[in-house]
Amino acid sequence: MVRLHVKDMKILRELDFGARQPISQIARKVGLSPEVTAYRIKQLEKQGIITGYYPVIDLSKLGYMFCRFRLIVENVDSEIEEKFINAVKNIPQLGWIIFGSSCLVSLIVYAKSIQEASEIYQQIARLFPGVIKSKAFSIAHKIYHFRRNYLYNTEEDEQLIWGEGGKVEIDEIDRKILVLLIHDARIKYTELAAKVGLTSMAVLNRIKRLQRENLLLGTRCKLNVSKLGYSHYKISLLIDKITTERKNSLKQLLRQSPNVVYITEALGPYDLEFEMDANSEQQVHQFLKKIKEKFPEIKGFENTTFYRMEILRYFPEKIN
């Protein structure tokens, strides 16, 4: 387990919601020279703590649904796991593959209709006959992204919200810019400009427009929290007869926990889901006990530990 220096915590806090910030700006905020800041970031990357940088794109504004297939599988060893990933990675609408406890595999599919999502699932299921024992389907219609306050010893309530509604039109150049940001959200404007055939200022203006329209919500750093002694948990809550006011109070309680990093509202078997990073199962159970005491409307929950997350793409296009 790696113990973070306070300066590294401050750097990670800056990269969390603002990964495209220039080194000079981050250095000024954390009180270091640009050279030392760049070195510390490189060390965090070399240690495998920072594993990349990505944009948060509200695909609902482009007409896409965030579809989830929750699969119970059997007879899946590490070899089958690799074959599964290699077989599905070139499906352009597939975003994430998540392997969890209890023989659970979750697939995130970007689709513009239920029929399209179903066809993608059938394409995957045909590749692995006899492996998928059962499936459950749901659609996430709102996803709240929070800062990792537990790492920075902060209590900031800033959030990025996926699924706020509205429609945005993009052209082929916008699409190319978004795809390039998916590869590396810290790519320089000069490199972006050369790849899309525009000036740096034109690219900057396009990105600012995508931000103003809330299509490009932010840019974040990907962290391997296991290097820091944490595991990632997904908790799905089954809620009965809760008012809108009480549900909002529950979401506010979740937001106030420094360990909660996502909240998802979905149409499916569970009413509300959240994800948290914790250093032990006991910490998770203590938190669940706390929220159940305050909200007796919670009739049950499912707790899943993610042990492998393969993020293929954050945009529903084939990446060349």
Could you tell me if 76 and 135 lie in one domain? yes
Q: Mean of the pLDDT values across residues 21-32?
A: 97
Query: How many domains does one find in the chain?
Result: 4
Could you tell me if 198 and 296 lie in one domain? no
Could you tell me if 146 and 252 lie in one domain? yes
Could you tell me if 131 and 247 lie in one domain? no
Could you tell me if 136 and 152 lie in one domain? no
Residue 33 CA to residue 124 CA, distance in Å, equals: 50
Q: Could you report the per-residue pLDDT of 155-179, keeping only the tens digit for each?
A: 999 999 999 989 999 999 999 999 9
Tell me, yes or no, whether 36 lies in a domain: yes
Contacts of 273 (CB under 8 A, 6+ apart): 234, 235, 236, 237, 263, 264, 265, 266
Do 314 and 95 form a contact (C-beta atoms < 8 A)?
yes
Q: Could you report the per-residue pLDDT of 126-160, keeping only the tens digit for each?
A: 888 888 888 889 999 999 999 999 999 999 999 99
Residue 318 confidence (pLDDT) above 70? no
Nearest Cα residue to 261 out of 287, 282, 290: 287
Residue 10 CA to residue 26 CA, distance in Å, equals: 9
Could you tell me if 90 and 207 lie in one domain? no
Could you tell me if 79 and 188 lie in one domain? no
Domain that holds residue 1: 1-47
